[in-house]
């Protein structure tokens, strides 16, 4: 354990966490220290994407990221993404296209897609967005609804 506090800008708010072990995963800091339960733990091996957050605007797997690796960085969870215009458009596209079934994977998809769309004008092609989401897995939808939602979100932010 290190003596220095962990500092993050979490969903736009500066936060300091004390007594964070060097080996603590960012996922655990988010869920248990910050109390933000939208970021899900799926596989613990970086294979499913349920734990995706944005680190300085880029999608990152919080189950594979040590909290200390992002000390001083901006971390955005699904709770933060959905406060922004792009994130709300992504959520709406998922809802309207039936891309939400059990919902466990949805936060990871929403965060990753929001990160791929935010600040990019024009937005990447639908194919490029789908390629960017290839690490996010869903066991319920069969992906056709997610593909429609990605295309709809892209059009909504154009």
Assigned CATH class of 81-157: mainly alpha
Q: How far is CA 95 from CA 146, 148, 153, in A?
A: 10, 11, 11
Looking up tokens 């001083």, which residue turns up? Answer: 72
10, containing H or E segment:
strand 6-10
Q: Phi and psi (nearest 5°) for 26?
A: -55, -40
The angle at the Cα of 62, spanning 137 to 15, to the nearest 5 degrees, equals: 140
Q: What pLDDT, in 10s, does the model give residues 6-33?
A: 999 999 999 999 999 999 999 999 999 9
Under the banding of pLDDT at 50, 70 and 90, the label for residue 2 is: low
Q: Is 10 exposed, middle or buried (0-12, 13-18, 19+ CB in 10 A)?
A: buried
List the CATH code of the domain at 6-79.
Answer: 3.10.20.30
Entry pTM: 0.93
User: Which residues of the chain are in CATH 1.10.150.120 domains?
Assistant: 81-157
In 3-state terms, what secondary structure has residue 114? Answer: helix
Q: Whole-angstrom Cα distance, residue 36 to residue 34?
A: 6
Q: Give the tens place of pLDDT for each residue, 68-127.
A: 999 999 999 999 999 999 999 999 999 999 999 888 999 999 999 999 999 888 899 999
Q: For residue 142, what pLDDT is reported?
A: 77
Which residues belong to CATH 3.10.20.30 in the chain? 6-79
Dist. CA 9–CA 70, nearest whole Å = 10
Answer yes or no: are the C-beta atoms of 54 and 81 closer than 8 Å. yes
């Amino acid at each position: 354990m290190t003596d220095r506090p962990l500092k993050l800008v979490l969903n736009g708010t500066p936060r300091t966490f004390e007594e964070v072990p060097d080996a603590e995963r960012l996922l655990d800091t988010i869920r248990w220290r910050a109390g933000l339960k939208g970021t899900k733990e799926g596989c613990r091996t970086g294979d499913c994407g349920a734990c995706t957050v944005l680190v300085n605007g880029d999608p990152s797997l919080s189950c594979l990221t040590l909290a200390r690796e992002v000390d001083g960085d901006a971390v955005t969870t699904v709770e933060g993404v959905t406060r922004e215009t792009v994130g709300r458009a992504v959520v709406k596209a998922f809802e309207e296209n039936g891309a939400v079934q059990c919902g466990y994977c949805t936060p990871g998809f929403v965060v990753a897609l929001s990160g791929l769309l935010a600040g990019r004008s024009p937005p990447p092609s639908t194919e490029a967005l789908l390629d960017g989401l290839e690490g996010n897995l869903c066991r319920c939808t069969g992906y056709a609804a997610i593909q429609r939602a990605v295309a709809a979100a892209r059009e909504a932010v154009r």
